[in-house]
Amino acid sequence: MTRALRVASWNVNGLRACARKGFSRWLARAGADIVGLQEVRALPHELPPAVRAPRDYHAEFAPAEQRGYSGVALYARRKPDAVERSLGLPHFDVEGRLLVARFGRLVVANAYFPKGSGTLRDNSRVPYKLAFYRALFERADSLRRAGFRVLVLGDFNTAHREIDLARPQGNQKTSGFLPEERAEIDRWIAAGWVDAFRSFVPEGGHYSWWSQRQGVRERNVGWRIDYVLASPAAMRFARSAWIAPQVRGSDHCPVGVDLDPAVLG
C-alpha cells in the first residue's frame, strides 16, 4: 500500500508561544503533508524563520487585521494550485478565519470558527458564530458541487454530541454546546458531510481541547471541538482519522485524517 497523505489540523493558541514549546519538532516528526493551523495570533514577519518558512513546506497565512488575534495558516509539502483567504464577507474576512487551498481535485478549507461566548462570556457572539457556520457551509458546498473532494478542518468551537465532551450535563447553557450551535453541525451531517474521526472511532473519551486549569487535561476532562469534515467524495479516500492528545504546546491537540494519495488526482 502506498504511503497515506496525512492532513492535520491544530489550534496552536498562539503560534509564537507554541513554537517555544516544540512546534517545529512536532512538525518535523508528524509526517503531515498538509497542516492547517488556527489561532496563529501573529503576522508572518513576527514568527521565527523556522516557523514562518518551515523546511520542506510551502507556507500560507491569513492573519486577522487586529494584532495578536485569530489568524490561520497552512503548510503543505506541495505548493497549492490555488489559495483563497476570503468568504467575500468583510465582517468575517477581517478576523482571518479561513484559508482554502486546492491540490488537484482535493480542496482543504482550514477554518477557525468563532467562539460564541464573547469577551464577557455572555454568549453575545453566538449569532456571529452561527452566521459564519452558514456562510462557510455555502462556500464548501459550492466546491463540493463543482466536483472537488473537500475537507473542512479546524477548530469548530462546538462539541457536536454529548459523547464529545466529558461533562455534557453541566454545559447545556455554555457556548460550545448550545442547541443552536450543535444544530449547525447537524446541518452539515444531514447534507452528507462526514465527521471523519467519528466514522472510525465511535466510542467516547476522545477530546481535542482542555481547560488550562491545573489537572484538567491530566484527568481528561475535555471537549472534542476540532474536526475534519469530509465531503462524501473525499471520505471515500479516507484510511483513518486520529486525535493526538499526547502532543502538548497548546490547550488543543492536533487532529487529522490519513487519505489515499489518489484523492489528489
DSSP output for 78-135: S--SEEE---S-HHHHTT--EEEEEETTEEEEEEEPPPSSTTTTSSTTHHHHHHHHHH
Task: State how far the Cα of 125 lies from the Cα of 229, in Å rounded to an integer.
Answer: 23
> b/e string for 94-121 if b means 16 or more Cβ within 10 A?
ebbbbbbbbbebbbbbbbbbbbbbeeee
Asked whether the beta carbons of 24 and 50 are under 8 A apart, the reply is yes
List 56, 81, 141, 155, catalytic entry: 155
Asked whether the beta carbons of 198 and 239 are under 8 A apart, the reply is no
Active site residue 155: yes
> b/e string for 172-198 if b means 16 or more Cβ within 10 A?
eebbbbbeebbebbeebeeeebbbbbb
Q: Give the three cell numbers for residue 23.
A: 512546534
Residue 145: phi and psi, rounded to 5, are: -65, -25
Q: Which residues are catalytic?
A: 155
